[in-house]
């Protein structure tokens, strides 16, 4: 009996210890996001799982913090970091303390971000879209989205553009339901956005036609505010900003009452903004595409929608008038590159949403791929180098906006045959190379001349095809050489077009024909 009592006592003791209260988990950061970066300031968003006090230390070198900014007693903080230097790297550290409980605190690892570049200084950005979950699993982000975020983290980016459909909220939700979806998004993007600002466009699956969803989107993101007539209400739905030599414009195709269009105050603001833009490059981003066959009932794609076709014509005319270079779009879950009147239109909808089949190629379509992907752009004052990258790291397509610079060199000189020798027909291989920052289209020798009585017999134009930056091609020109001539000079004039359709001539305009 005594042994039984001892065994029972030991068992009860273990049970009592196992049931003791566990220590409370430390306060958690649910989002850290660098936002609204300018040459001299940025807004750091810090969201926690409970009410907290936040202090940010920052400076211009690792571990050397010149400034301190604090924000008390909130779950979501927007902390302005000011007194920054243009074109510089800012290092910062975040300290979070549960309000009223100093013992519950954490210090996040140091992170850094770049302030806005001054004109003339290169930078890189990425564009991605349509990562929203499938309707049967509306909260958890698709696994490939995490893969793409990790890839972008390794690209040394200054900013990321998101073309919309971030969450799955096509109907009105409670604030708690909506917030949970954005928290799931931030749980994946936080490692990226703690160093790289994310600029978003509203997608149709954000569902901002419903008041609760619109409030949730505006609460989730801190974005630039437009200066249009309705800025007090629609300030963050469409906006613009500058970085380096590029002017970025983000439009909203989901404004309540004007869905799938850009009208009213937004259209008036757009024209004003385009007219005032002075940067070398103009990049536009919006959710719904102008050229694609997947959402055929969208008014820009539906020939039967008179309102849609008129609105599309107005927008494309403005883009052409004010020199828009490239338009990034989402909505369709694939990659597609289209060109219209020298403007590049890129659908980047491969962020993780269920992929769509590509439509049959139409006029202006250049390349398409049904694949998860993002687009990386390397910007300089002279070029926009655009590269589409799939989720395995493979390059899908690349193209370069900028002025071409053709170079011509002489290759082999030879008699093609005994008959050519006897006839005096000499063959000369010419090597054409594209040495400039922009791709060249329809490269041709448009004028041939030669000295010492030698006559070019190859008809012009002599075609080399399209040449991307760094590429070259060879074409052969034949000359009729009189007997006794052992030396002559050739004069060649070449021409091509850049991707915007502008003609370029080398070494200048050819002599009159």
How many Cβ atoms sit within 10 Å of the Cβ of residue 404? Answer: 24
- Distance of alpha carbon 199 from alpha carbon 285, whole angstroms: 10
**Residue 257 pLDDT exceeds 70:** yes
Furthest CA-CA distance within the chain: 129
Summarised one tens digit per residue, pLDDT across range 361-383 is 999 999 999 999 999 999 999 99
Pair of tokens at residue 462: 């002599």
Nearest alpha-carbon partner for 461 in 410, 502, 497:
497
H/E stretch holding 307 = helix 306-321
Query: Is 423 in contact with 432 (CB distance < 8 Å)?
Result: no
Instruction: Give residue 281's pLDDT band: very low, low, confident or very high (50, 70, 90).
Output: very high
Instruction: Give residue 212's pLDDT band: very low, low, confident or very high (50, 70, 90).
Output: very high
Predicted pLDDT of residue 513: 59
Residue range 119-401 in CATH 2.40.50.140: no
Query: Is 384 in contact with 326 (CB distance < 8 Å)?
Result: yes
Secondary structure (H, E, C), 461-476: CEEEEEECCCCEEEEE
- Distance of alpha carbon 204 from alpha carbon 512, whole angstroms: 56
**Residue 357 pLDDT exceeds 50:** yes
Summarised one tens digit per residue, pLDDT across range 44-82 is 999 999 999 999 999 999 999 999 999 999 999 999 999
Predicted pLDDT of residue 64: 97
Its sign, for the CA torsion 465, 469, 473, 479, is: positive
Mean pLDDT of 171-194: 96
**Residue 454 pLDDT exceeds 70:** yes
Instruction: Give residue 25's pLDDT band: very low, low, confident or very high (50, 70, 90).
Output: low
Mean pLDDT of 88-98: 98
**Residue 129 pLDDT exceeds 80:** yes
CA distances from 198 to 186, 378, 393 (A): 11, 17, 21
Average pLDDT in the chain: 94
Predicted pLDDT of residue 263: 98
Instruction: Give residue 12's pLDDT band: very low, low, confident or very high (50, 70, 90).
Output: very low
Summarised one tens digit per residue, pLDDT across range 392-428 is 999 999 999 999 999 999 999 999 999 999 999 999 9
Instruction: Please check whether the two domains, 25-116 and 406-506, share a CATH topology.
Output: yes
CATH architecture of the domain formed by 25-116: Sandwich (2.60)
- Distance of alpha carbon 224 from alpha carbon 295, whole angstroms: 30
Nearest alpha-carbon partner for 470 in 444, 435, 437, 496:
435
Nearest alpha-carbon partner for 283 in 148, 386, 129, 202:
386
* pTM exceeding the 0.95 threshold for the entire prediction: no
Instruction: Give residue 7's pLDDT band: very low, low, confident or very high (50, 70, 90).
Output: very low
Query: Is 243 in contact with 224 (CB distance < 8 Å)?
Result: no
What are the sequence ranges of the domains in the chain?
A: 25-116, 119-401, 406-506
Q: Integer distance in angstroms from the first to the last C-alpha of the chain?
A: 121
Q: State which fold the 406-506 domain adopts.
A: Immunoglobulin-like (2.60.40)
**Residue 21 pLDDT exceeds 50:** no
Predicted pLDDT of residue 292: 86
User: Residue 355, CB half-sphere, CA atoms under 13 Å: how many?
Assistant: 15
- Distance of alpha carbon 513 from alpha carbon 449, whole angstroms: 11
Query: Is 355 in contact with 333 (CB distance < 8 Å)?
Result: yes
Pair of tokens at residue 224: 């630039």
Predicted pLDDT of residue 225: 98
- Distance of alpha carbon 478 from alpha carbon 506, whole angstroms: 21
Task: Please state whether the peptide bond connecting residue 393 to the residue before it is cis, i.e. omega within 30 degrees of 0.
Answer: no
- Distance of alpha carbon 233 from alpha carbon 491, whole angstroms: 64
CA distances from 220 to 216, 241, 258 (A): 6, 20, 23
Nearest alpha-carbon partner for 43 in 25, 69, 23, 17:
69
Mean pLDDT of 147-170: 97
Summarised one tens digit per residue, pLDDT across range 222-255 is 999 999 999 999 999 999 999 999 999 999 999 9
Instruction: Give residue 3's pLDDT band: very low, low, confident or very high (50, 70, 90).
Output: very low
Query: Is 155 in contact with 200 (CB distance < 8 Å)?
Result: no
Query: Is 285 in contact with 257 (CB distance < 8 Å)?
Result: no
Q: Tell me how long the chain is.
A: 513
Summarised one tens digit per residue, pLDDT across range 427-453 is 999 999 999 999 999 999 999 999 999
Predicted pLDDT of residue 23: 45
Task: Report residue 295: phi and psi, to 5°.
Answer: -105, 75
């Amino acid at each position: 009996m005594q042994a039984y009592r001892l065994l029972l006592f030991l068992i009860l003791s273990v049970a009592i210890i196992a049931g003791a209260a566990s220590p409370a988990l430390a306060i958690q950061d649910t989002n850290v996001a660098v936002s609204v970066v300018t040459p001299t300031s940025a807004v750091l968003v810090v969201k926690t799982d409970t009410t907290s006090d936040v202090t940010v230390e920052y400076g211009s070198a690792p571990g050397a913090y010149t400034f301190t900014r604090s924000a008390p007693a909130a779950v979501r903080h927007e902390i302005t970091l000011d007194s920054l230097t243009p074109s510089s790297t800012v290092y910062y550290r975040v300290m979070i303390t549960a309000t009223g409980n100093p013992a519950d605190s954490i210090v996040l690892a140091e992170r850094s971000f770049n302030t806005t570049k001054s004109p003339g200084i290169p930078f890189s950005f990425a564009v991605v879209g349509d990562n929203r979950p499938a309707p049967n699993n509306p909260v958890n982000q698709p696994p490939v989205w995490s893969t793409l975020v990790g890839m972008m983290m390794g690209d040394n980016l200054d900013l990321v553009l998101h073309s919309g459909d971030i969450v799955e909220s096509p109907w009105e939700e409670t604030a708690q339901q909506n917030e949970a979806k954005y928290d799931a998004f931030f749980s994946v993007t936080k490692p990226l956005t703690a160093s790289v600002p994310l600029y978003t466009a509203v997608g149709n699956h954000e569902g901002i036609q419903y008041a609760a969803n619109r409030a949730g989107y505006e609460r989730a993101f801190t974005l630039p505010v437009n200066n249009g007539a309705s800025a007090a209400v629609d300030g963050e739905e469409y906006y613009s900003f500058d970085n380096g030599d590029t002017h970025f414009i983000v439009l909203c195709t989901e404004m309540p009452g004007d869905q799938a269009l850009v009208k009213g105050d937004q259209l008036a603001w757009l024209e004003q903004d385009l007219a005032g833009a002075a940067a070398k490059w103009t990049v536009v981003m919006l959710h719904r595409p102008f050229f694609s066959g997947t959402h055929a009932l969208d008014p820009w794609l539906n020939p039967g929608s008179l309102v849609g076709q008129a609105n599309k014509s107005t927008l494309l005319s403005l883009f052409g008038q004010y020199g828009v270079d490239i338009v990034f779009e989402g909505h369709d879950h694939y990659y597609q590159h289209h060109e219209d009147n020298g403007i590049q239109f890129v659908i980047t909808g491969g962020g993780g949403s269920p992929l769509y089949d590509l439509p049959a190629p139409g006029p202006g379509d250049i390349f398409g791929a049904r694949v998860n992907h993002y687009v990386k752009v390397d910007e300089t004052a002279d070029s926009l180098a655009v590269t589409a990258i799939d989720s395995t790291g493979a390059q899908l397509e690349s193209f370069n906006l900028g002025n071409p610079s053709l170079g011509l060199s002489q290759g082999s000189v030879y008699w093609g045959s005994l008959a050519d020798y006897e006839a005096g027909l000499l063959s000369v291989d010419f090597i054409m190379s594209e040495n400039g920052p922009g791709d060249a289209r329809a490269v041709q020798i448009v004028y041939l001349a030669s000295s010492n009585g030698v006559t070019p017999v190859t008809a012009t134009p002599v075609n080399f095809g399209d040449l991307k930056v760094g590429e070259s091609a060879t074409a052969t020109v034949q000359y009729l050489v009189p007997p006794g001539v052992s030396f002559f000079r050739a004069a060649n004039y070449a021409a091509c077009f850049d991707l915007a359709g502008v003609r370029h001539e080398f070494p200048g305009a050819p002599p009159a024909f």
